[in-house]
Amino acid sequence: MNKELIEEIKKKREFSELPDSIVDRAAEIAKGNVKESRALLRKYFGVFLTNKVLKGKGDLLEAHMSSKKRDYSYFYKEIFEGVRDVGSVIDLGAGVNGFSYPYLKNVVGSVKYVAVEAAGQLVERMNDYFEKEGFNAEAVCLDLFDVDKIKKMLRCQIKDRVVFLFQVIDALENLERDFSKKFILEISKECEWMVLSLPTESLGGRKKFAVRRKWMIDFLEENFVIDKDFTSNGERILRFCKK
């Protein structure tokens, strides 16, 4: 790990609170080029780290296109249909999704919600929000590639544990090919349900595309039971559990 290179990349405010491990991974992919490293990080984190988010102003669910398009009342109702005894919800790669907790609470009650996010600024904003509203929720700053820490955190949560993976597969795959398969297999050992979402259109909604993701669907069908598969506002959502 090149500390000096990491420090240089993190001089940009929007990347200053990302874990060093993520910045180092981007730098490695970009072969040490600072500008290209920042461009790669901006591709996956920049959409969340706008001035609105950094300054904590306004409705942060409106700060990102995927959350802005969701009808959260319908979204959560469909996700949890038929699921009983939810003890906790763990949102991996949460982005701004923590601010949707009131909608989640309306569907499953005041269950413990944990937002796992790499951007430290978002973690701080969500924790301020949770504390202000008195919600049974917290945000933690973790790198999803640190699987052991993710699994350790999951073990501490109340069963039955439902893990969200909303639109994070492409980001994981672009940073390390086939990592998402290994990740899902490992994480599934520490939870009862997983919910995965894939985009069916571009963030701006101008370009629609078929979300076959045959490699992912085949993988899930081989290793899990998919008991819910629906689309909503530009996303395909799959709920699955261990066989």
For 16-46, the pLDDT digits (tens) are: 888 899 899 899 999 999 999 988 888 776 5
* Section 113-141 average pLDDT: 93
Q: How far apart are the first and last CA of the chain?
A: 39
How far is the CA of 205 from the CAs of 61, 83, 93, 189, in angstroms? 17, 31, 22, 35
Residue 169 has pLDDT above 80, yes or no: yes
CA distances from 58 to 36, 78, 157 (A): 31, 28, 31
Residue 96 has pLDDT above 50, yes or no: yes
Name the pLDDT band for 47 (thresholds 50, 70, 90): low
What are phi and psi for residue 88, nearest 5 degrees?
-155, 155
Q: What is the mean pLDDT of the chain?
A: 86
CA distance 226 to 107: 21
pLDDT of 235 above 80: yes
pLDDT band, very low/low/confident/very high, at 52 (cuts 50, 70, 90):
low
pLDDT of residue 205 exceeding 50, the answer is no
Tell me the backbone φ, ψ of residue 161, rounded to 5 degrees: -100, 130
At 236, the pLDDT band (50, 70, 90 cuts) reads: very high
Confidence tier at 53 by pLDDT (50, 70, 90): low
Domain spans of the chain, in order of start: 3-46, 60-242
The answer to whether 211 and 230 have CB atoms below 8 angstroms apart is no
The Cβ of residue 243 has, within 10 Å, a number of other Cβ atoms equal to 7
207-218: average pLDDT: 69
pTM of the model: 0.87
- Position 192 confidence tier, pLDDT thresholds 50, 70, 90: very high
> Which pLDDT band, with edges at 50, 70 and 90, does 151 fall under?
very high
The residue with greater pLDDT, 78 or 62, is 78
Q: For 60-242, give the CATH class.
A: alpha beta
- Among residues of the chain, what percentage have pLDDT more than 90? 59
Nearest to 98, CA basis, from 26, 170, 169, 166: 166
Using only C-alpha atoms, the chain has a radius of gyration, in whole angstroms, of 17
For residues 48-59, give the mean pLDDT.
Answer: 54
The confidence band for 115, taking pLDDT boundaries of 50, 70 and 90, is very high
Residue type, 200: T
